Each structure stands twice: as C-alpha cells, then as structure tokens.
C-alpha cells in the first residue's frame, strides 16, 4: 500500500548543524535545529524503514524506532556517514554542514589581545559530493538551502553532487527553512522541477519526499 514502500529499506538521514571548534569554549555553527531531518527520520520509521539518524547537536527527542549517532563537526559527520553508506539504500542529507572550519583549533582559550582578530578558515570536505561519487546502489537525496535563484542553484547542486533528487529550500521565505516547524520546498531531479509544495509542516514535507524517493527507488533503473 501507500505507506509500505519503504518496508525493510535502510535509510540514513543527516540532521542539524555541525559545530566547528575554535577553542575549548568557542565554536562556529548555524541555525539548523534538526527539525527537518528528525521529521524525515520519524516518517521513514513509520513507513517501515530501518532508520539511522546522524545528527549534529540538537535538543529534539529521538523519534521512536530510530537509531541515533551524534556528531559535532563536519569531519565527524563525514566519518559517520561514510561508515554507514555501503549498507544504506536511501540517504537523505538534510544537515546544514559547515562549509568551512577554523584552520587551527586552539588548545587553550584564545586570549583577548589586539582590537581585531582574524580567523583563518579552511574548506570542509563536501560529504554529499563524496556520496555522489561513490554511490553504487544507493539512492541519494540532497538539500539546497538558498536565499536567491532557487531553481538554478538547486539544479546546479544536484548535478555537481550527482544526487538522484534534491530538495530546494528557499530559506528567505516566511515559514521556511531554519528553526521553524513548517517548510516551503521544491523537489528536482536531473530533468528539472518535479514538484513544488506549498507551505506545510516538516512532517508532511518529509512524507511527500519519502513517497517520491520510494517510488523512484522501486522503479526500473534508467538507461
Ligand atoms: O534543521 P532545521 O532547523 O529544520 O532546518 C532545515 C534546513 C534549512 C537545515 C534544511 O531544510 C536544509 O535546507 N538543509 C541543507 C542545508 C545546507 O547546508 O544546504 P547547502 O545548500 O549548504 O548544502 C547542500 C547539500 O550538501 C546539503 O544536502 C548538505 O547536507 C550537503 N553538504 C554541504 C556542505 C558539506 N561540506 N557537505 C555536505 O554534505
């Protein structure tokens, strides 16, 4: 039936923001609450999947029946995701991974000295892009959080990162994106826009995304 499409499928979901340490008491992060990724994990479990959630720091309760693995940095998240990738059927990357991390993590608290302080940041590996390169049987879904030209940027990310689907998230819209309980998203595949959803709860967005992914996974592979 409608909800049985993920029965027994192994689903790996990432959620939340990463934490990039500067020193023992300071870090860089972003506004991701984990709500979108946790909603995906919860709905996937309801649809019969075996779900693992790799999560940055989040205060949210772990959904029933979901296995949780907590991480801090983008490097930790990369390790956790790659370790579980081979044994996954569907991977959904809702996490807001930091693009950069401090070049040096100070062992002691950084002292206040001059009037200005320059931080050097270095690029983090792009986990989604690595999955796109490595994937064999896995169905890989990325997210694209954008504040302008959503269609163009989302499709560009889908192609560059070799995803099967991408969820375009216009985070400049009211009731969409970081921290809120609702979202406004568009689903794309390599041919372009598949579905544009009006504002709705993150649980409803999650269910529609999982139904689409489930349909595409069970369809005969394209030539
Ligand atoms: O957690 P909430 O408060 O509910 O907010 C939800 C959300 C806005 C975080 C979520 O809906 C969302 O859009 N997540 C993706 C945020 C993001 O970092 O997007 P991006 O466009 O920078 O990255 C594109 C994709 O590449 C994402 O799937 C991301 O997980 C992945 N990525 C990015 C950088 C990196 N170094 N490694 C990655 O894997």
4 falls within a domain: no
Are 143 and 97 contacting, i.e. CB atoms less than 8 angstroms apart? no
Burial of 48 (0-12, 13-18, 19+ CB in 10 A): middle
Full domain range(s) for residue 25: 10-218
The confidence score (pLDDT) of residue 220 equals 57
Task: Supply the pTM of this predicted model.
Answer: 0.96
127 lines ligand 1 (CB under 6 A): yes
The Cα-based distances of 9 to 130, 146, 192, 214 in angstroms read 22, 30, 26, 9
The confidence score (pLDDT) of residue 150 equals 96
65 falls within a domain: yes
The confidence score (pLDDT) of residue 1 equals 44
125 annotated as belonging to a binding site for a ligand: yes
3 falls within a domain: no
Query: In CATH, what number is assigned to the domain containing residue 125?
Result: 3.40.50.10300
135 annotated as belonging to a binding site for a ligand: no
Selected catalytic residue, list 30, 162, 183, 191: 30
Q: How far is the CA of 106 from the centre of ligand 1 (A)?
A: 27
74 lines ligand 1 (CB under 6 A): yes
211/205 Cα distance (integer angstroms): 10
Q: What does the DSSP 8-state code read for residue 178? A: S
The confidence score (pLDDT) of residue 219 equals 73
Going by their DSSP bridges, the two strands 182-183 and 50-55 should be labelled as unpaired
Q: Which residues contact 96 (CB under 8 A, 6 or more apart)?
A: 16, 17, 18, 30, 31, 32, 56, 145, 178
Q: How far is the CA of 114 from the centre of ligand 1 (A)?
A: 35
Q: What ipTM, to 2 d.p.? A: 0.98
Q: Decide if 30 is catalytic.
A: yes
User: Per residue in 8-19, is it b (16+ CB within 10 Å) or e — as a string?
Assistant: ebbbbbbbbbbb
48 falls within a domain: yes
Q: What is the pLDDT along the chain (223 residues), one digit of tens a residue?
A: 454 589 999 999 999 999 999 999 999 999 999 999 999 999 999 999 999 999 999 999 999 999 999 999 999 999 999 999 999 999 999 999 999 999 999 999 999 999 999 999 999 999 999 999 999 999 999 999 999 999 999 999 999 999 999 999 999 999 999 999 999 999 999 999 999 999 999 999 999 999 999 999 977 555 5
2 falls within a domain: no
34 lines ligand 1 (CB under 6 A): yes
Are 16 and 96 contacting, i.e. CB atoms less than 8 angstroms apart? yes
Q: How far is the CA of 112 from the centre of ligand 1 (A)?
A: 33
Domain count, the chain: 1
1 falls within a domain: no
Classify the C-alpha dihedral 208-127-131-53 as positive or negative.
negative
Cα Rg of the chain (Å, integer) = 18
> Which atom of ligand 1 sits closest to the CA of residue 130?
39
223 falls within a domain: no
33 lines ligand 1 (CB under 6 A): yes
pLDDT digits (tens, 9 = 90+) for 126-140: 999 999 999 999 999
5 falls within a domain: no
């Amino acid at each position: 039936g409608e909800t049985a499409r993920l029965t027994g499928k192994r689903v790996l979901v990432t959620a939340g923001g990463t934490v990039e340490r500067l020193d023992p008491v300071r870090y860089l992060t972003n506004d991701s609450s984990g709500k979108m990724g946790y909603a995906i994990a919860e709905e996937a479990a309801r649809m019969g999947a075996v779900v693992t959630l790799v999560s940055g720091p989040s205060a949210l309760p772990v959904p029933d029946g979901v296995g949780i693995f907590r991480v801090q940095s983008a490097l930790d998240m990369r390790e956790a995701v790659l370790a579980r990738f081979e044994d996954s059927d569907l991977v959904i990357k809702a996490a807001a991974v930091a693009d950069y991390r401090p070049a040096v993590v100070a062992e002691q608290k950084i002292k206040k000295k001059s009037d200005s302080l320059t931080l050097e940041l270095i690029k983090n590996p792009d986990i989604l892009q690595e999955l796109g390169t490595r994937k064999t049987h896995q169905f890989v879904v990325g997210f694209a959080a954008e504040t302008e030209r959503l269609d163009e940027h989302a499709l560009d990310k889908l192609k560059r990162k070799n995803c099967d689907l991408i969820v375009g998230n216009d985070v400049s819209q009211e009731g969409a994106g970081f921290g809120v309980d609702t979202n406004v998203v568009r689903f794309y595949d390599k041919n372009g826009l598949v579905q544009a959803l009006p504002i709705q709860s993150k649980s409803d967005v999650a269910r529609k995304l999982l139904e689409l992914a489930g349909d595409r996974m069970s369809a005969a592979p394209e030539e």
